Chains A and B, each alone.
Chain A
């Protein structure tokens, strides 16, 4: 099945989200699996990959049809309570909070073994087709 995740131009390891399943009109659940290769990018980089995965899952909620593209245009109130390590399977839940004029605002939470470890608010801007 083709999803927005499949259409992303990102290559591994920047194809951060490994799954995205819509659970409602304005909510979606995804996953980020931190592999040993991801973890080689030590320190803050692997943590940033988690936030990238959260943004990619958010995009899958809205831009799920062919030809619709968006750019990450903002992150606010991001927090990380615990470092991400190799072998972590992290569940990502995203809610679409608001939209106007092609700008979409999402609230995302990342959970490891039932414990929330990261959260952020994301803004995605829809790209108009080039003429």
Chain B
């Protein structure tokens, strides 16, 4: 999946999983902060993002410290998914 397509998909998933029923993907900027300020997500939402990444993309997120940077915005989240799924494809081909 291309990075722009991935961003769109992640926005749709966040709206669905976090029950932002009145929000559209267009209202979430690629570089808007997801937590402090920005969308104002909290630690329960972070757990839901971890569950969503595993169920939708097969990614396991264990390290809170490294996740902190990746969970900063939709752009950083998309980079994480893009890199980790690309790594998994390479390992699958080896």
Query: What is the interface of chain A, defined by CB distance below 8 A to chain B?
Result: 73-74, 97-103, 105, 123, 125
On whether A105 and B51 interact (CB within 8 A), knowing A100-B61, A100-B64, the answer reads yes
Query: What is the interface of chain B, defined by CB distance below 8 A to chain A?
Result: 43-44, 46-47, 50-51, 61, 64, 67
**Cα–Cα, bound, A100→B46 (Å):** 8
- What residues of B have a CB within 8 angstroms of the CB of A100 in the complex? 46-47, 50, 61, 64, 67
**Cα–Cα, bound, A102→B50 (Å):** 13
> How far is the CB of A43 from the nearest CB of chain B, in Å?
29
- What residues of A have a CB within 8 angstroms of the CB of B43 in the complex? 73, 101-103, 125
Q: Across the interface, do A103 and B44 meet the contact criterion of CB distance under 8 Å?
A: yes
Partner of A123, one of B44, B50, B64, B67: B44
Q: Across the interface, do A98 and B51 meet the contact criterion of CB distance under 8 Å?
A: yes
Give me the 4 closest cross-chain CB pairs, A-B, nearest first. Answer: A100-B50, A101-B64, A100-B47, A103-B47
- What residues of A have a CB within 8 angstroms of the CB of B51 in the complex? 97-98, 105
